[in-house]
């Protein structure tokens, strides 16, 4: 299956792209996607894509917030990954 990934802010700078597509095997989870992205774009992404890290990214799957990284992904899912934020 194929999922679409959008990086925001500094994560787009690290990945050197804002948008990408990733091929994953059926039944893959968000964590599997993270592993793929780290191997493709480098270990700088690691602390953001580790949900136990203080700097964990803000992640949305099809406009819904991902609370855990064990959620299963589906074909054509849209994943938005933002660096941690504060403000307002």
Give which of 57, 38, 36, 58 is closest to 46, Cα–Cα.
38
Q: How far is the CB of 88 from another protein (least distance, A)?
A: 5
* In the complex, least distance from residue 75 CB atom to another protein, rounded to whole angstroms: 20
Strands 19-23 and 2-7: antiparallel
- CB 25 to another protein: min, Å: 26
Q: Using the minimum distance from each CB to another protein, give the nearer residue, 22 or 45.
A: 45
23 versus 54: smaller Cβ distance to another protein: 54
Q: Residue 88, Cβ neighbours under 10 Å: how many? A: 3
Nearest to 71 by CA among 86, 82, 61: 61
55 neighbors 38 (Cβ within 8 angstroms): no
Task: Choose between 25 and 68: whose C-beta lies nearer to another protein.
Answer: 68
Chain residues in the site for another protein (CB under 8 A): 8-10, 48, 51, 54-56, 58, 60, 63-65, 67-68, 80, 82-88
């Amino acid at each position: 299956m194929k999922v679409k990934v959008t990086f925001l802010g500094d994560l787009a700078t690290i990945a050197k792209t804002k948008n990408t597509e990733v091929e994953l095997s059926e039944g893959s989870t968000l964590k599997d996607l993270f592993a793929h992205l780290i191997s493709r774009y480098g270990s700088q992404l690691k602390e953001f894509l580790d949900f136990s890290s203080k700097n964990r990214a803000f992640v949305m799957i099809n406009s819904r917030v991902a609370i855990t990284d064990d959620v299963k992904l589906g074909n054509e899912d849209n994943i938005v990954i933002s660096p941690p934020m504060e403000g307002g």
